[in-house]
Chain A
């Protein structure tokens, strides 16, 4: 199984809502990532978890709150988002934390903030 599964695939939320994005992998990978991708742009790193500990936060606003409950799961909690936060949110995982030799991506969650 080389899949990274993200749910939901699509999400529409109001600016006062609280929602969560979920990501799951069963490859035994110890590094997991959240990327944000705007239309016609490359993915931009948001967070990196290494051995279930947050190792990189790319100056992401506090309205995005990551959580890694165990080695297979990664969540992104959303609260009081702005319309400019609308984007494709991608989760990825890799086996290594010191050097990436391969990273697997999920299909993404298409988020629309209204």
Chain B
């Protein structure tokens, strides 16, 4: 089964600074990767996804991620964060189980943007 590892459980950063949230995936022939954001007491919202093609993926709210096959990484970046970006971020992989694919999540990274 495929899996993802989020290397940082908490990332504090000052407002307007750049940020990188790290995610590594287990090696596979084909892999579909996702980043989701979860604000307090809310569901999950898709930020961006990598299915194939260009390794630089742009998402909503100014986020982007780069798929790196040689390093089996899919790190999330934003050049300048806002207070409103404070949330939990989950990296996820599409994993084949039985007859249906499912999403398997990393342990999450709490991003806290400080004024």
Q: At the interface, yes or no: B57 with Cβ under 8 Å from chain A?
A: no
Q: At the interface, yes or no: B56 with Cβ under 8 Å from chain A?
A: no
Q: Which residues of A contact B84 (CB under 8 A)?
A: none
Q: Which residues of B contact A40 (CB under 8 A)?
A: 108
Contacting pair B107 A105 (CB below 8 A): no
Q: A104 to B44: give the CA distance in the assembly, Å.
A: 8
- If A56-B102, A97-B101 touch, does A103 touch B43 (CB 8 Å cutoff)? no
Q: At the interface, yes or no: A7 with Cβ under 8 Å from chain B?
A: no
Q: Write the chain B residue with the least CB distance to A56.
A: B98
- If A43-B44, A105-B44 touch, does A100 touch B98 (CB 8 Å cutoff)? no
Q: Which residues of B contact A99 (CB under 8 A)?
A: 32, 94, 101
Other-chain contact of A42, B97, B100, B108 (Cβ < 8 Å): B108
Contacting pair B42 A107 (CB below 8 A): yes
Other-chain contact of B46, A50, A56, A98, A103 (Cβ < 8 Å): A103
Q: A101 to B52: give the CA distance in the assembly, Å.
A: 10
Q: Which residues of A contact B70 (CB under 8 A)?
A: none
Instruction: List residues 32-46 of chain A with CB under 8 A from any CB of chain B.
Output: 33, 40-43, 45
The number of chain B residues touching the other chain, given as a range, is 20 to 34
Other-chain contact of A90, B34, B43, B100, B101 (Cβ < 8 Å): B43
* B35 → A minimal CB distance (Å): 12
Instruction: List residues 63-115 of chain B with CB under 8 A from any CB of chain A.
Output: 90, 94, 97-108
Q: Which residues of A contact B101 (CB under 8 A)?
A: 31, 94, 96-100
Q: A98 to B94: give the CA distance in the assembly, Å.
A: 10
Contacting pair A110 B99 (CB below 8 A): no
Q: A61 to B72: give the CA distance in the assembly, Å.
A: 35
Contacting pair A56 B108 (CB below 8 A): no
* A81 → B minimal CB distance (Å): 20
* B34 → A minimal CB distance (Å): 8
Q: A110 to B106: give the CA distance in the assembly, Å.
A: 21
Q: Write the chain A residue with the least CB distance to B30.
A: A99
Q: Which residues in A have some Cβ–Cβ distance to B below 8 Å? A: 4, 6, 31, 33, 40-43, 45, 48, 50, 55-56, 88, 90, 92, 94, 96-108, 110
